[in-house]
Amino acid sequence: MILNLRHYAFLGLLAFLLALPGRMTLPPLDRDEPRYMEASEQMLLSHNFIDVRFQDKPRYLQPAGIYWLEAASTATAEKIFGPSVLRKTWPYRIPSLLAATMIVPLTAWIGATLFGGPTGLMAAGLLMVSTLFVAESHMATIDTVLLLDILCIQAALLCAFTDRQKNRPTHLRVAVAYWLALGVGLMLKGPVVLIPGFGTPLALWLMERGRSWWARLRPRWGWLIMLAVVVPWCVAIEVISGGDFFARAVGRNFLGKVAHGQEAHGLPPGFHLLVFGLAFWPGSLFAALAIPAVWKNRKLPQVRFLLSWILPHWLVFELIATKLPHYVLPTYPAIAILTAASLMIWPIPKSPRWAKALLGAYGVVWTILGVGFCFAGSIALYSLDYTVSLSALIALGGALPLVLGAVMLLLKRDRKQAAFCAMGAAVIAHAGLFLGVIPNLQTIRLSPRIADLFENVRPCPDSILVSSSYSEPSLVFLAGPNTQLIGPAAAAEYLHNHPQCSLALIDRRDEPIFNKELTKYGLDIVEYGRLQGINYSNGHHLDLGLFAPR
């Protein structure tokens, strides 16, 4: 079976449709996403497209590329729907949606180029429904766009590698695409993109004891294309920041993550392997089952290419101190392709008893994860909000039988059909999660509820919210960039200095300090509303009152 343009277009459309559920109603999903959205919004409002800022502080973590993309998508939405979209989440998520739409067919193309059309389709399906990919494609963060860029790099490397295998010349556009993608990657995430960009050819060189194919990418002058993409902005930010950007982004953020864990994310080697079972679910078990076949076929050029893609990136991020699951996301397409090859074209090799025992134990863990994933949404809704969602129950009823069916098929050694069942279960479970669970979790949706209350009672069009007990970035995005995140004593002073158009958000535990300071200024306040909930980032229960001077 040879894949044509219609197959790839259908895959892109399918990926687009599967990434849509809940996109319009989902609140900011973690602490990083609202930082990206707020910085992109401030870029639009200030017309400063060089210096990335979150409120009045510079955000010197990575170059400006992702903020340009989110600002461009939001500016387009603003022209169509008006300025109200600046406070909506969905316009900032468009780059991730479009990237996911292109990642899936590009993965299929790479898989089809290496092992044929059916393998490419299976690989695209395994990646498309994997937990981490689905989560990242719903968020306005950098990782899905970066994955697309790295896929473009690997596709260019594959073209050169395949041309060498077939003893044919490599077109100039392949070399240009490779170096251009490296430059774009530098604008997105800085030096991180060089790990897969140079790690794959280096690993191939070591495996094959030859580097003749590297010359096909015109390295003598190609690096100039890469620098031409990134240098103009680097010069501009160097001048504006006085060198502070590179000190922070490279010295503290990039190199700092290598030496020690940042933001409480320091973990020992093996973390990414440990969380792979959930992050790549439902494909994680099939990837583990593929290991004997991959080892047996390790000398095939196609397998060497994919291993050279996976191993350098994975090992680097297992060894650095700071670890987050999405750091190894760029290896998932290659893992999906190897897994698909084991399902579609390679016979199941014989394995020793100890290997069968390990794989059997992993299968038990995979089953527990799958069943838990089916129940997780309904359990979370009931335990946090004491509610039941019909859509979550429908998703449970549709996904659970497919997970159990996949287990039965695995016991019958029908891995291919089991993979199809598991992928169907993942699609239904994800739809239920994004449509029926997350939008209804009111207890942890504090920022949207606070923003709604603030909007309803604000005394002036340009009123400012002063929050002393809840300092999530999502609140800044939803309530406005002028939101003040200060302590209760400072909040009382702020109300004294700006009594006409300010409101203070104070937790009940901080009210004694707040009230004590208010008495010093002789201020009499009114409570306009009260909200209770859980701060999802630290698990603290909050009882928040919204106050303003009489």
* Predicted pLDDT of residue 22: 77
Handedness of CA 41, 47, 52, 56 (dihedral sign): negative
Confidence class for position 406, pLDDT limits 50, 70, 90: very high
Same domain for 109 and 227, yes or no, is yes
pLDDT for 520: 87
Q: What is the pLDDT of residue 385?
A: 83
pLDDT band at 257 (very low <50, low <70, confident <90, very high): low
Q: 228 and 331 share a domain?
A: yes
Alpha-helix runs per DSSP H in 138-270? 143-165, 172-189, 194-208, 219-241, 244-246, 255-259
Residue 264, pLDDT score: 46
SS3 517: helix
Residue 257 carries which side chain, given as an amino acid letter?
K
Q: Which of 344, 374, 407 delimits the end of a domain?
A: 344
Over range 153-159, report the average pLDDT: 97
pLDDT band for 253, please (50, 70, 90 cuts). low
Closest CA to 241 of 523, 50, 100: 50
pLDDT given at position 256: 55
User: Could you give the CA distance from residue 402 to residue 370 in angstroms, rounded to a whole number?
Assistant: 10
Query: Is there a contact between 321 and 257 (Cβ–Cβ < 8 Å)?
Result: yes
Asked, for residue 351, whether it belongs to a domain, the answer is no
Local structure of residue 431 (DSSP, 8 states): H
Peptide bond into 282 cis (omega under 30): yes
Q: Residue 388: its pLDDT value, please?
A: 83
Which of 322, 344, 366 is where one domain is finished? 344
Q: Residue 495: which domain range?
A: 445-549
Q: What tens digit of pLDDT does each residue of 365-384 get?
A: 999 999 998 998 889 888 88
Looking at per-residue confidence, does 528 or 254 come out higher? 528
Distance, CA of 504 to CA of 469 (rounded, Å):
10
Report if residue 511 sits inside a domain: yes
Is residue 309 pLDDT above 60, yes or no? yes
Backbone angles phi, psi at 463, to 5 degrees: -60, 150
Is the same domain home to 15 and 72? yes
pTM of the predicted model over 0.85 = yes
18 & 148 share domain: yes
For residue range 107-131, what is the model confidence (pLDDT) as tens digits?
999 999 999 999 999 999 999 999 9
Considering the domain architecture, whether residues 258 and 372 belong to the same structural domain is answered as no
Q: Are 7 and 109 spatial neighbours (Cβ–Cβ below 8 Å)? A: no
Q: Does 350 reside within a domain?
A: no
Q: What was the pLDDT predicted at 268? A: 83
349 falls within a domain: no
Would you say residue 324 lies in a domain?
yes
Q: Which of 214-218, 308-312, 516-520, 535-539 has the lowest mean pLDDT?
A: 535-539
Residue 352 lies in a domain: no
Residues 335 and 383 occupy one common structural domain: no
* Residue 309 sits in the same domain as residue 435: no
Residues 194, 61 share a domain: yes
Answer yes or no: is 390 within a domain: yes
Across all residues in the chain, what is the average pLDDT?
91
Q: Say yes or no: 472 and 414 in one domain.
A: no
Contact between 62 and 479 (Cβ < 8 Å): no
Buried b (16+ CB within 10 A) or exposed e, 356-395: eeebeebbeebbebbbebbebbbebbeebbeeebebbeeb
pLDDT of residue 88: 92
Are 251 and 144 within one domain? yes
Establish if 72 belongs to a structural domain. yes
Position 276 scores a pLDDT of 96
525: CATH = 3.40.190
Say if residues 461 and 42 touch (Cβ distance below 8 Å).
Answer: no
Domain count of the fold of the chain: 3
Given a contact cutoff of 8 angstroms between Cβ atoms, the answer to whether 324 and 271 are in contact is: no
Same domain membership, residue 364 and residue 464: no
CA atoms within 13 A on the CB side of 167: 0
Asked which of 431-440, 472-481, 500-509 is least confident by mean pLDDT, the reply is 431-440
Q: Given 313, 344, 375, which residue is the final one in a domain?
A: 344
Query: Cα angle vertex 25, ends 23, 29, to 5°?
Result: 75
Distance CA 335, CA 397 (A): 30
Phi, psi (5° rounding) for residue 534?
A: -120, 130
Q: What does the pLDDT average to over 147-170?
A: 95
Question: Both 340 and 366 in a single domain?
Answer: no
